[in-house]
Amino acid sequence: MAIDVRQIGGAFLTLSMFAMLGNMIRKDHFSDNTPALEVSSSNASNPLQDARYATNKLLAKGKEPENLWGLSAPALKPCWEDKITESMEKNNGFVSFTLSNGPSYHLSQVADAVVVAKYLGATLILPQIKESSEDENSKFEQIYDADKFIDSLSGVVKVARQLPNNKIARKTVIVRIPHRVTEQYISENVEPLFRKKRSIMLSIVFPSIDMKIKQGSNSEMESIRCLGMYGALEFRPEIRMVGDKMLKKLRDAEDGSSRHFVAVDLRMDILLHRGCENADGSLKSGTKKCFGAQDVGIFLRKIGFQEDTPLYLTESTWHENLNSLKDIFPNVYTKETSMPSDEKMKLFHSGKTEFERALDFYICSQSDVFVPAISGMFYANVAGQRIAAGRTQILVPTTRQSSTDMLSDSISRYIIDKNHIAYSCFC
């Protein structure tokens, strides 16, 4: 059978067009179905030797790309004030709530509580912070600036430090609401019970992680949400002071010069629980919702970070599975190695995990580059803080083997698409 050269040419052109289209359609890497990163083997018997082999044979050498650390940009300005009407002085009742799961969830929990209280014309009660351990709950003012919180909401939502008496506390009922609760949901499911009891305790559930801009929402309610997330909640000065000392250590080179550093959200307990790594630190195959220590190290070298780049990890203490990352980047820091020694007993060894989570959130929000190795609320809400501050160099690891521009391919979709809620809160 004769072969038509024109048919061959047409087939080749069709395949080329599909390849180009595939490169144009890019997803957020955490929802990508690409396989686990393949590392050529040197017949080594452990992941440390594999990492050395990958560093020597596969990874980028030479100067760092000019845009590796991102472009400096001014902080954005809030644009929610003019859309919020002041509240009447009368009090229709009380809305209580509890903060849990660390600062990355606290921002969203506060925003929902403020929205509900504003809609109901209720007084908002300062929350307790539920510890992940069996220790007693923390008080709000142990982690956050309570005076700043109350002052920021003045004229919008009245805030009280506690319920006025035990009688009201006893008749308080628990009401479940979804994250990013809507006016319709409040009207249909919350308001009737509130009018009857006059005191409710919100239980905020997260059926999904949704930080994207919602079109067609009530502009005032969304502005109040912005106020709750970005205008009211601030760590207490003592925590920010410790965080600033840690930032200084990370940015000060041994020769006295200043340097950039990368913050990586990488916690071994989560990685092992989600199945991102085997117990011995080697890579697992399959789709990725998070990236292991060795994954992250190889990714960072491939896009151009030099081996002397300082890395800060959200892991509190050293775990043996991090050795493969340290073999690629020797300057790896955790809270244990970056926190001033005089602060460790007071904060790090206090038994309060919220102190540690607060410091992680602060450092990752302030770093020169942020790399989320784990998908979730920490990534989403750190991204919001960085967008507001103009620090938009957020690089999401990818398992792609090759790319015409791997660095630009790795920039967070929140930044590329400008679809994070923070872009609707700041101008």
* Residues 131 and 250 both lie in one domain: no
Asked if the structure places residue 15 within a domain, the reply is no
Asked if the structure places residue 418 within a domain, the reply is yes
Asked if the structure places residue 1 within a domain, the reply is no
Q: What is the pLDDT of residue 322?
A: 92
- Find the CATH number of the domain harbouring 244: 3.40.50.11350
> In the predicted model, what is the mean pLDDT of residues 294-310?
93
* Cα–Cα distance for residue pair 79/43, rounded to 1 Å: 58
* Residues 163 and 296 both lie in one domain: no
* Cα–Cα distance for residue pair 370/262, rounded to 1 Å: 6
Number of Cβ within 10 Å of residue 1's Cβ equals 3
Burial 357-388 (b: 16+ CB within 10 A, else e): bbbbbbbbbbbbbbbbbbbbbbbbbbbbbbbb
Report helix, strand or coil for 124.
strand
DSSP 8-state secondary structure symbol assigned to residue 30: G
* Residues 251 and 388 both lie in one domain: yes
Asked if the structure places residue 6 within a domain, the reply is no
pLDDT cut 90: percent of the chain above it: 55
> In the predicted model, what is the mean pLDDT of residues 310-315?
96
> In the predicted model, what is the mean pLDDT of residues 56-83?
78
- Give Cβ neighbours of residue 380 (< 8 Å, ≥ 6 apart): 104, 209, 211, 414, 420
Average pLDDT, the chain: 82
Domain ends where: 231, 261, 292?
231
pLDDT band at 392 (very low <50, low <70, confident <90, very high): very high
pLDDT band at 16 (very low <50, low <70, confident <90, very high): very low
Q: Report whether pLDDT(188) > 70.
A: yes
Provide the domain limits for residue 216. Answer: 91-231
Question: Mind listing the pLDDT tens digit for each residue in 19-53?
Answer: 443 443 344 556 433 333 333 333 333 444 544 54
Asked if the structure places residue 13 within a domain, the reply is no
- As given in the structure block, the two tokens for residue 377 are 């609320």
Domain total in the chain: 2
Domain ends where: 231, 261, 284?
231
pLDDT band at 193 (very low <50, low <70, confident <90, very high): very high
At 268, which amino acid appears?
Answer: M
* Cα–Cα distance for residue pair 91/11, rounded to 1 Å: 72
Q: Whose structure tokens read 């073999």?
A: 327
* Cα–Cα distance for residue pair 398/411, rounded to 1 Å: 10
Q: What is the pLDDT of residue 422?
A: 95
> In the predicted model, what is the mean pLDDT of residues 258-281?
80
* Residues 227 and 244 both lie in one domain: no
* Cα–Cα distance for residue pair 188/201, rounded to 1 Å: 17
Q: What is the pLDDT of residue 350?
A: 60
Who wins on pLDDT, 197 or 349? Answer: 197
Q: What is the pLDDT of residue 410?
A: 92
Q: Report whether pLDDT(135) > 70.
A: no
* Residues 268 and 411 both lie in one domain: yes
* Residues 194 and 104 both lie in one domain: yes
**What is the biggest distance separating any 2 CA atoms in the chain, rounded to whole angstroms?**
93
Q: What is the pLDDT of residue 89?
A: 62
Residue 198: which region, alpha, beta or left (left: phi > 0; alpha: psi -120 to 50)? Answer: left
* Residues 325 and 391 both lie in one domain: yes
Who wins on pLDDT, 108 or 336? Answer: 108
Asked if the structure places residue 5 within a domain, the reply is no
* Residues 101 and 191 both lie in one domain: yes
* Cα–Cα distance for residue pair 196/193, rounded to 1 Å: 5
Who wins on pLDDT, 341 or 79? Answer: 79
Q: Report whether pLDDT(425) > 90.
A: yes
* Cα–Cα distance for residue pair 120/95, rounded to 1 Å: 9
Give the range among 19-28, 66-75, 86-95, 228-237 with minimum mean pLDDT: 19-28
Q: Report whether pLDDT(211) > 60.
A: yes
- Please give the backbone phi and psi of residue 2, each rounded to the nearest 5 degrees, phi first: -70, 145
- Give the global pTM: 0.84
Asked if the structure places residue 298 within a domain, the reply is yes
pLDDT band at 393 (very low <50, low <70, confident <90, very high): very high
- As given in the structure block, the two tokens for residue 101 are 């799961």
Q: What is the pLDDT of residue 161?
A: 95
Who wins on pLDDT, 198 or 58? Answer: 198
* Residues 126 and 147 both lie in one domain: yes
* Residues 265 and 400 both lie in one domain: yes
Chain-centroid distance of CA 300 in Å reads 19
Domain ends where: 231, 247, 268?
231
* Residues 122 and 189 both lie in one domain: yes
> In the predicted model, what is the mean pLDDT of residues 196-214?
91
Question: Mind listing the pLDDT tens digit for each residue in 313-335?
Answer: 999 888 888 999 999 999 999 98
Q: Report whether pLDDT(200) > 70.
A: yes
Asked if the structure places residue 34 within a domain, the reply is yes
- As given in the structure block, the two tokens for residue 341 are 């020694």
At 310, which amino acid appears?
Answer: P
* Residues 217 and 242 both lie in one domain: no
Who wins on pLDDT, 117 or 138? Answer: 117
